[in-house]
Amino acid sequence: MPLNTKNFKYIGLKNIEKLPNTTGIYAFFAHRSSQRQRRCKSGFLYIGKAINIKNRVKNHINQPTFKDNIFVPETKKIGFIATGSEIEALILEASLIKKYQPKYNTVWRDGKSHNYVSITKEEFPRVFISHQLLTINYKLLTSIGPFIDGKSLKQTLRVLRKVFPFRTCNKLPKKACLYKELGLCLAPCQFKVQSEKLKVKKNINNLTAVLRGQKKLVVKSLQKEMALSSHQQDFEKAKVLRDQIFALNNVFSHSHILGKEGGNLLPRRKEVSSFQKLQKALNLKNKIKRIEGYDISNIQGQEATGSMVVFENGRPNKKEYRKFKIKITGKPNDTAMIKEILFRRLKHKEWPMPQVMLIDGGKGQLNAAIEIVRRGSSPVNLKIVALAKRQNELFIEGKNKPVLLKNLPQDISNLILQVRNESHRFAITYHKKLRNKTFFN
């Protein structure tokens, strides 16, 4: 997003009820006539981020701290930018503060409190957080920042590392460490061919671009590379890139990295509300208390795995997750694999039954699931749906034509994508574990 004050939407202090209940950036602007504004670049007094912009601004005004009591009387208007994700809010806040240097962002102006993402200028760069802009004794490829919130920055790097694995060790070890097994490092200490070295460079470039607010450009680049790989029939590489795109979108959409300052209780209320809206959309009589998501992961049928993830009361319940090692052999057959894991799942009468089963796939996978689930005395208040990846088409049991997610309310669309992406992530994690075990054996 270009750093320009035109990106802001403005309201007066008397109209704070018109502020959105969304994640994003807010800014207090000074009166033009204020003599003190001469020391405020572009009129900015204070810039902050929040999970809920309206709640956070209300806190500044209705429950003021010593600092609030200083800049609120100087304020003429409030600007805001909705970001849609907490990571975007963190990145945009850092960029805006760096550009406009608001007068009362004293934490950023305190030299002891800067947070930078530093990347070393080595053949295999190291990524780490520093508390000052390093210029001496370090040969840096780049430093990104400053970031105000060190805790949120650490959490952001933690989730981004799952998408773009990077090195953090001071010296390259002689043997690959645990981070390689966890999928958090490409283990450049073991690299022998040039193609492996290029992977490190691509990951660093993508990570840098994302931290500079260029996530959309990164996604487009990955999509082009995926299309090219598919055209060249390098389907394994295309699948890896597809998974990377899903993972990047997923961490931006669903990672909660901000603290209580922005109204931390709101996401739970939103997620419960999305369950209620989905219930109405699927025409279910009883409340949706449990959603189960299913996915298959395999490469040409090798080490095929299945996953079951569970969402209850609006959030993932990881204690209820289950994984399946596919037992059928032969050529890859997703519908047969779906049948197998659902058959095995339904044998567990002690597991609570869901109100919604979400299958990763299209019409074929939906029909396969219906065939298995409806064999026995399955609950009446259970709806089976399937989500096809290509155009995000939602196939619903009992309906002939699919529904495009983009045509559904945003809350429902986000919930369905979250369940699908989580089942996909969980299946891939188990699949990688089995592949690594086979490889090392």
CB 89 within 8 Å of CB 258 = yes
Residue 242 Cα distances to 163, 207, 228, 329, angstroms = 11, 17, 12, 25
CB 388 within 8 Å of CB 380 = no
Buried b (16+ CB within 10 A) or exposed e, 55-86: bbbebbeeeeeeebeebbebbbbbbbbebebb
C-alpha of 360 from chain center:
19
Residues in the chain with pLDDT values less than 50: 1-3, 35-38, 108, 110-112, 136, 261-267, 301, 438-441
Q: What is the pLDDT of residue 178?
A: 81
CB 29 within 8 Å of CB 45 = yes
Residue 368 Cα distances to 78, 361, 375, 397, angstroms = 54, 10, 11, 11
**What would the two tokens of residue 436 be?**
């690594």
Question: What pTM was computed for the model?
Answer: 0.57
Q: What is the pLDDT of residue 430?
A: 65
Helix (H) or strand (E) holding 383: strand 383-388
Tokens 């080595």: give the residue. 122
CB 346 within 8 Å of CB 373 = yes
pLDDT, tens only, 76-100: 999 999 997 899 999 999 999 888 8
DSSP 15-56: GGGGS-SSSEEEEEEE-TT-GGGGGSGGGEEEEEEESSHHHH
* Bridge partners of residue 295, in order along the sequence: 307
**Which domains does the chain show, CATH number per domain?**
5-106 (3.40.1440.10), 115-254 (no CATH), 268-440 (3.30.420.340)
d(CA 274, CA 3): 33
Residue 371 has a CB neighbour count (10 Å cut-off) of 14
pLDDT, tens only, 190-227: 876 666 778 889 999 999 999 999 999 999 999 999 99
DSSP 98-148: HHH--TT-HHHHSTTS-EEEEEE-SSS-BEEEESS---SS--EEEEEEEES
Q: What is the pLDDT of residue 99?
A: 87
Calculated CA dihedral for residues 37, 39, 40, 41, nearest 10 degrees: 120
